[in-house]
Amino acid sequence: MELKHCKLLVTPTSYGKNDPRLKSDLEALVGEVVYNPTGKPLSSAEVAELLPGVDGYIAGLDVIDRTALQAADRLKVIARYGVGVDAVDLEAAKERGIVVTNTPGANSVSVAELTLALMLALCRQLAQAFEATRQGKWPRLSGVSLEGKTVGLLGLGAIGKQVARRLAGWDCRIVAYDPYADADFAARHNVELLPQDDLLAQSDFVSLHLPLLEATRAMVNDAFLAKMKPGAYLINTARGELIDEDALLRALQSGHLRGAALDAFIHEPPDPSHPLLALPQVIATPHLGAQTDGATNAMGWMALNDCLAVLRGETPKYRVV
């Protein structure tokens, strides 16, 4: 397909933010580029309104369901700017002959770095310390050291591995559960593989690094939390839907968990009145795990290259379906 005859839809809000060439190169290669008009992830109806006449779609966290795809009269490829494809109806895309790609590993380092930042912020009560200092107070807040503690990683994929690598110098015990664990990696990096229930019972920190699947949706429920070590912390830099937020609220209010750090919620942004946001032992960030120059640039170029490859009739590097 001649690229100059192609129309592309680009919806990630951070696309080209740190590398303007992502936009300028794309605009020079294709006939027309339409960018996200809302500045936020699109609903199914908003996607459907923009898809007619579009040949290639570099997609953010939009809802790309069967209803939206009914409006795709020319679409050849959806190139997800990120790794998750749970918001894309893969079966509907396949039925319509639409190739779906993603960007595996592009944000792994950035998400791992945020995971450690949140872990340390919980340890040292940094959110409370920042606020108290701004108010002219000078509290002697009691912190927790990572040294000698057990950190449990639920998921030892690309991001879990990056977290494990970075924890190696902190003199803590690293344990992990993954149904498809890389035993060689674990052995080389002193990561002890455990059954999930054993990990929950032994870990002072439990960090979630799992994809959103039907089997993982709301997996952090009352039963899961009851198995966690009393006084432990929970960190989620994966997907908000992994957690039953009401169950987490109960575990925190009862004191069973000492604190939680959440970079993702079921509904984003969460309502300001969300009860979890009112708890001082909860640190909340606006799903910014992948929002670094390194991650956004890598995701942008990977998505762009695969999108253009499909439009040229070539094989994309990171095809999902």
149-156 average pLDDT score: 98
Q: Which residues have C-beta within 8 Å of that of residue 26, sequence separation ≥ 6? A: 8, 10, 33, 304
Q: Enter the pTM of the model.
A: 0.90
CA–CA separation, 176 and 218 (whole Å): 19
Asked if residue 289 lies in contact with residue 108, where contact means CB atoms within 8 angstroms, the answer is no
Confirm whether 95 is a catalytic residue. no
Structure confidence at residue 1 (pLDDT): 85
Catalytic residue, from 80, 209, 239, 241: name it.
Answer: 239
Domain 108-284 in the same topology as domain 3-106+293-311? yes
The class of domain 3-106+293-311 in CATH terms is alpha beta
Q: Could you tell me the residue ranges of all domains in the chain?
A: 3-106+293-311, 108-284
Asked if residue 55 lies in contact with residue 309, where contact means CB atoms within 8 angstroms, the answer is no
**For 79, phi and psi rounded to 5 degrees?**
-100, 100
Asked if residue 290 lies in contact with residue 17, where contact means CB atoms within 8 angstroms, the answer is no
Catalytic residue, from 91, 95, 268, 314: name it.
Answer: 268
Q: What is the pLDDT of residues 54-106, one digit of tens each?
A: 999 999 999 999 999 999 999 999 999 998 899 999 999 999 999 999 999 99
CATH tag, 108-284: 3.40.50.720
Catalytic residue, from 209, 241, 245, 287: name it.
Answer: 287
Confirm whether 268 is a catalytic residue. yes
Among 139, 144, 137, 140, smallest CA distance to 122 is for: 144
What percent of the chain is modeled with pLDDT above 90? 99
Q: What is the pLDDT of residues 215-243, one digit of tens each?
A: 999 999 999 999 999 999 999 999 999 99
